[in-house]
Amino acid sequence: SQAGRARLQGSMASAPLDSLLNFSAPLDVTLLETVVSTVYTGEPSQMAAAQRVLSQLQDRIASEDAAGALNWFRVDTILEAPALSTSTKFYALQILENAIKFRWKTLPAQQQAGIKAFIVNLVIQKSSSEETFRSEKVFMTKLNVILVQIVKQEWPHNWPSFISDIVNSSKANETLCENNMAILKLLSEEVFDFSRDEMTSAKAKKLKQSFNADFSLIFQLCEYILGHSTKQSLLVCTFQTLLKFLNWIPLGYIFETALVKTLVYNFLPLPAFRNDVLACLTEVGSLDIGTIYESLTGEVGAAYDACFEVLFTEVATALCVGVGGKPPPMVPPDTDMARAYAEGSADDETFIRNLALFLTCFFRQHLPIAEKTAQ
Model confidence at 1: pLDDT above 90: no
The residue with greater pLDDT, 173 or 296, is 173
Residues 115-131, buried b or exposed e (16+ Cβ, 10 A)?
bbeebbebbeebbeeee
CB 330 within 8 A of CB 269: yes
Rounded to whole angstroms, the Cα distance separating 276 from 235 reads: 10
Q: If pLDDT is split at 50, 70 and 90, which confidence band does 45 have?
A: confident
Q: If pLDDT is split at 50, 70 and 90, which confidence band does 44 have?
A: confident
Using DSSP's 3-state secondary structure scheme, residue 3 falls into: helix
Least confident of 36-40, 235-239, 264-268: 36-40
Rounded to whole angstroms, the Cα distance separating 235 from 178 reads: 8
Average pLDDT on 101-111 reads 96
Model confidence at 314: pLDDT above 50: yes
What's the predicted TM-score (pTM) here? 0.90
Amino acid at 30: T
Q: Provide the Cα torsion 275, 277, 278, 280; round to 10°.
A: 130
Average pLDDT on 83-101 reads 95
Q: If pLDDT is split at 50, 70 and 90, which confidence band does 118 have?
A: very high
Of all residues in the chain, what percent carry a pLDDT higher than 90?
A: 77
Rounded to whole angstroms, the Cα distance separating 285 from 279 reads: 10
Model confidence at 211: pLDDT above 70: yes
- Cα 158–164–170 angle (5° rounding)? 125
Model confidence at 66: pLDDT above 90: yes
Phi, psi of 334 (to 5 degrees): -95, 15
Of all residues in the chain, what percent carry a pLDDT higher than 70?
A: 91
Average pLDDT on 198-205 reads 86
pLDDT one-digit tens code per residue, 364-374: 999 999 998 87
Which class for 211: exposed (0-12), middle (13-18), buried (19 or more C-beta within 10 A)?
A: buried
Least confident of 4-13, 141-150, 199-208: 4-13
Q: In sequence order, which residues have a C-beta less than 8 Å from that of residue 231 and are 6 or more positions away?
A: 174, 178
Q: Which long-range contacts (CB under 8 A, 24 or more apart) does 258-265 make?
A: 259/223, 260/284, 260/310, 260/311, 260/314, 261/314, 262/223, 262/226, 262/227, 264/314, 264/315, 264/318, 264/323, 265/323, 265/324
DSSP 104: G
